[in-house]
Amino acid sequence: MNQLSTVGFPRIGAQRQLKKWVEAYFKEKLSMDELQQNAAELRKQHWLLQQQNNIAFIPSNDFSFYDTFLDMAFLLNVIPEVHRNLNLNKLDTYFAMAKGYQKGNHDARALPMKKWFNTNYHYIVPLIDGQTRFKLNDIKLFDEYNEAVALGIKTKPVIIGPFTFLKLSKIDTKDKTYFNYGEEITKVYSDLFARLNKLNAEYIQIDEPILVTDLGKEDVEFFVTLYKTLLQDKKNLKVLLQTYFGDIRDVYEKAATLDFDALGLDFLEGGKNIKLIEKFGFPRDKILFAGIVNGKNIWINNYQSSLELLGLLERHVDRDRIVLNTSCSLLHVPYTTASEKQMEKKYKKHLAFAEEKLKELNDIAVLLQTDNYALNKKYEENILSVKEKLENNVIFAENLRKDVAGFLDADIVRQPSFESRIKEQKERLQLPALPTTTIGSFPQTDEVRILRKKFKNGEISSDKYNEKIKEKIAEIIRLQEDMGLDVLVHGEFERNDMVEYFGENLSGFLFTQNGWVQSYGTRCVKPPIIFGDITRKKPITVDYLAYAQSLTDKPVKGMLTGPVTILNWSFPREDLPLSDIAYQIALAIKAEVQDLEARGIKIIQIDEAALREKLPLRKKDWHHEYLSWAINAFRLVHSSVQSLTQIHTHMCYSEFEDIIKEIDAMDADVITFEAAKTDLSILDVLVAHNFRTEVGPGVYDIHSPRIPGKEEIKEIIVKMINKLEREKVWVNPDCGLKTRGMQETVASLKNMVEAVKEIREKI
Ligand code: GLN
Ligand code: ZN
C-alpha cells in the first residue's frame, strides 16, 4: 500500500490549549517548565494520533510557541540586536521578537508580521542586518526529534528552506541582497544535516513555498547553486523538497535534476504540476510526495477526482514511489468535526477537518490498490455525499442563480460619473474642509460583550437586547457630537465580528463551535463556512442606522462589510466559482445598501478590509482569476445608488501600489486606509497615479494604545495636504476602534479633531 504523509499538523490544540498556556505564561501564571511540559504533551498527542492513522511520514518541528518562521530565524541565529541586548533567556528572547518587550527602561519593538502566501496565517518577518551572524543557534528541532524517538516514532523534521527564508526576510544592509547570503546560510543548513545524521534521522522536509511564486532567471540560478552545494553534505539523510499553494513551473526541470530524494508537489492549488510531470517526466531516482488531500479547505475529499489524478500520475511514476500527502500543512484547517456537537449530521458529513483528512488519506490508499474500487463501499458512500451536496435543493436559490447569471454591465456602472456626483454630494452634505470621521467601530467594552452573550444564550429577549444596543448607540452619537466629529458612526456594538455578523444574517452560511484556525501567534479565527446560496434573510443594519441618524443632524455613516471580504474570511463552497459566490453576497449586501438609502442614510461605507488577501500568487493570474470579478462584485453592491448618496470603502493596508488602478476602479467616492505606520509613502503613489477617489489615509495607528499628540497629527495632515488636493482629503484613524479602550480613544480623537480645527483656521 502507498505510504502516507502530512506536510504539517495543527499545533494550537483542539481546545486552543496552547493559546491559553502561552497567555498564562505571559501573565506569570504558568512557569516555563510547565509550559514546556504541556507543549510536549500536546506534541505527543499529535504524533500518536497520526501514528494511529498510519501516517508513515509524521512531521516534527511543525510545533511552535508562536510561529515556525520565527523558529527558523531563531535557529539560524537571525536575532536582532535590540532583542539580543535584552539579555533574556532563550524563550523570552524569542517571545520578545514576536511580541515586543517593554519593561523597566527596556523597550524593544516586535518584528513585523506578514501574510503567509494566500492564507490567513501570518508569519514573523526576520530582520537580517549588519549584525547578523548565521550559525546554528537553537536545538528545538533536534529536541523534538528525540522526543518523538523516545515515543518510538521516527519523525520527518520540517524546516523552512534557505531560499524561502532569505526571500521572505527583510534584508537591511547597505550593499547586500539575499544573493549575498547564500554561502553563509548554506553552512548552517549543512551543520543541521550533520546533526540529524548523527541522530540517525532518515528524512528531512525542507519547505520552499516561495518556489510557487514568479521567479526570475537570477532567482532560479540562486536556487540551483544553493541546493547543489547544500545537497553535497546530506550524507545518509534523505531530503524532501516540499512545496505548496501552487505549481513550481519556474524550477521544476532544475529541481528534478538536483540531488533531492523526494519532491513534494501540491496537485490541488498547483494543478499545473501534473502538466509539468507530463511534459518533463518524473525523475526515476526520486519519490513523489503527492499532495492530494486539501490542507486548506474543510470539505470531504472527492475520491473519484483523487483516484483519477493518481491514475494520471501513475503513468509517469511507479506506484511504489508515490507517497500520498496533504496539499499543504493541515495548520490551515480546524482539528476535528467530532467537536461540532451542535452541528446537524446532514451538514457535518460533508466536512473533513485535520483528523478526518488523515482518514481520507487511508481510504484513498486502500481504494488505490483495490482492483475494482468503484464497487467499494467507501467509494460509493463518498460519491453519494459529494453528489448530494451539489444537488441539495435546500441550499439552492433558483432566482438568485438567474440574477447572478443575468446581471448586466449597466448594473456595475455607477451613474453619473464621479466628477459630477461628488459635487452634488458636497452640496448636500455641507461638510467643512478636511472632514473628520472614524472607521466604524467604537471600543467593545465588557458591558457590550456580556450583553451579546446573554442575548445569544437566550438570557435576554431580543427586544431587551435591541433596547440596550440602542442605548449604546445614543451614547456614542452624543460622544461624537461632543468631540466635534463631522461624519458619525453608530459604533457597531451589535457585531462580534464584521464577517460573522453578516454571515448570521444571510442564508447559506454555517457556523462551527470549535472550528478555530491559527491566524497569527496563538490567535485563532473561526471562519464561517459557505454552504449554500446566499440571500439576505431580512434587513440587517437598517433599524440601528435609522435610529442613530434620528438622533443627530450630522450625517451617520451606514456600515457594511463588502462581498469580497465576507468571501475571503470564510471557507467557500467549491461547487461554484468564487466569482459567483462573490456576486451572490454582493446582491445581498446591495439590498441592504438600497434599504439604508431609502431610510435617509446619506453616506454608506462598504468595508473591503481583506480585498487584497486572496490576490493570486502569480501576477499573471491577478486579473482574470481575481481582480476582475472582485472589483465587479464591489461595484454591483453600490452602483444603483443615487448620485447624492456617498459611498465609502475601507481597507486595512496601504500596500496597494500595484493594484492602485483597480482600487480606483471600485468607483467608491471615498476610501480610508491604514497609512500611519508606513510613513505616508503611499501619498506619492496616489499622486503618481492621479488617484481619483477621495482619501482618508489614517492619521494614527489604532493597533497600539498610545495616544497621538495634537502636534504630531497636525504634522501628518500638513504632509497630506501638501501632496494631495485638499478638497479630497479626509481625516480619520487608520482602522476601527473596537479593540481599544474608551479613555485612550476619546483622548486620541479629541487630539485629532483639535488638530484639524487649527489647520482649518489657517487655510
Ligand atoms: N468597520 C470596521 C470597524 O471599524 C472595519 C474593521 C476592519 O477594517 N478590519 O471595526
Ligand atoms: Zn481596517
Confidence of residue 187 (pLDDT cuts 50, 70, 90): very high
> Left, alpha or beta for 77 (phi > 0: left; psi -120 to 50: alpha)?
left
Which whole number is the average pLDDT over 703-727?
Answer: 93
pLDDT of residue 388: 82
Which residue among 437, 439, 488, 560 has the greatest number of ligand 1 atoms within 8 angstroms of its CB, and so is best to mutate? Answer: 439
Pick from 472, 476, 471, 502: which is nearest to 488 by CA?
A: 476
Q: Which of 343-352, 390-399, 487-496, 725-734 has the lowest mean pLDDT?
A: 390-399
Residue written as grid cell 464621479: 418
Mean pLDDT calculated for residue range 355-360: 98
Report how far apart, in Å, the C-alpha atoms of 687 and of each of 611, 660, 720 are: 22, 11, 11
CA–CA gap between residue 395 and residue 104 (Å, rounded): 58
CATH class of the domain whose range is 398-408+420-762: alpha beta
Model pLDDT for residues 197-228, shown as the tens digit of each residue: 999 999 999 999 999 999 999 999 999 999 99
Q: Which of 280, 238, 269, 322 is nearest to 5 (CA)?
A: 322
The span from the CA of 598 to the CA of 425, in Å, is 16
* Minimum-distance ligand 1 atom for the alpha carbon of 559: 1
Helix (H, G, I), strand (E, B) or coil at 611: coil
In short, whether 486's Cβ falls inside 6 Å of ligand 1 is no
Helix (H) or strand (E) holding 622: helix 622-622
Mutation probe of ligand 1 site: the residue of 525, 559, 650, 671 with most atoms within 8 A of C-beta = 650
> Does the reported pTM lie above 0.95?
no
Q: Output DSSP code: residue 627.
A: I
Q: Do 104 and 97 contact (CB within 8 A), yes or no?
A: no
Closest C-alpha to ligand 1, atom 9: 609
Q: Is 606 helix (H, G, I), strand (E, B) or coil?
A: strand
**Residue 391 above 70 pLDDT?**
no
Q: Is 658 helix (H, G, I), strand (E, B) or coil?
A: helix
- The Cα 399–Cα 405 span in angstroms is 10
As beta bridge partners, residue 124 has 113
pLDDT at 400: 83
Q: Is the CB of 738 under 6 A from ligand 1?
A: yes
Share of the chain above pLDDT 90, in %: 88
pLDDT for position 677: 63
Q: Can you list the positions of beta strands (E) in 10-80?
A: 59-60
User: Taken in order 598, 603, 607, 612, is the CA torsion positive or negative?
Assistant: positive
> Looking at this protein, which amino acid is placed at residue 679?
D
Could you give the CA distance from residue 596 to residue 750 in angstroms, rounded to a whole number? 29
Task: Tell me if 328 CB under 6 Å of ligand 1.
Answer: no
471 has a pLDDT exceeding 90? yes
User: pLDDT (tens digit, 9 = 90+) per residue, 90-119?
Assistant: 999 999 999 889 888 888 888 988 889 999
Does residue 482 surpass a pLDDT of 50? yes
The predicted structure's pLDDT at residue 393: 45
Contact 557 CB / ligand 1 (< 6 Å): no
Q: Is 506 helix (H, G, I), strand (E, B) or coil?
A: strand
- Give the Cβ contact number of residue 393 at 10 Å: 8
Q: Which atom of ligand 1 is nearest to the CA of 440?
A: 4
Q: Which residue has the higher pLDDT, 532 or 408?
A: 532
For ligand 1, atom 6, name the residue with the nearest CA: 736
pLDDT tens, 657-682?
Answer: 889 999 999 999 999 998 766 677 88
pLDDT beyond 70 at 129? yes
3-state secondary structure of 695: strand
The three three-digit cell numbers of residue 561, written as one number = 462589510
Task: Tell me the pLDDT of the chain averaged across its residues.
Answer: 95
CA 550: distance to chain centroid? 38
Instruction: Looking at the CA of residue 441, tell me the nearest atom of ligand 1.
Output: 4
Q: Is 563 in the pocket of ligand 1 (CB under 6 A)?
A: no
| Predicted local confidence at residue 392, as pLDDT | 60
Whether the predicted pLDDT of 567 surpasses 80: yes
Q: Which amino acid is at 757?
A: K
- Domain residue extents for the chain: 398-408+420-762
Q: What are phi and psi of 647, to 5 degrees?
A: -105, 125
736 lines ligand 1 (CB under 6 A): yes
For the purposes of burial, counting CB atoms within 10 Å of the CB of 150, is it exposed (0-12), middle (13-18) or buried (19 or more)? exposed
> Is 623 designated active site?
no
Least distant ligand from the CA of 608? 1
pLDDT reading at 763 higher than 90:
no
Q: DSSP alpha helices (H): ranges in 151-199?
A: 162-168, 182-198
pLDDT of residue 704: 80
| Burial class of residue 248, CB neighbours in 10 A (0-12, 13-18, 19+) | buried
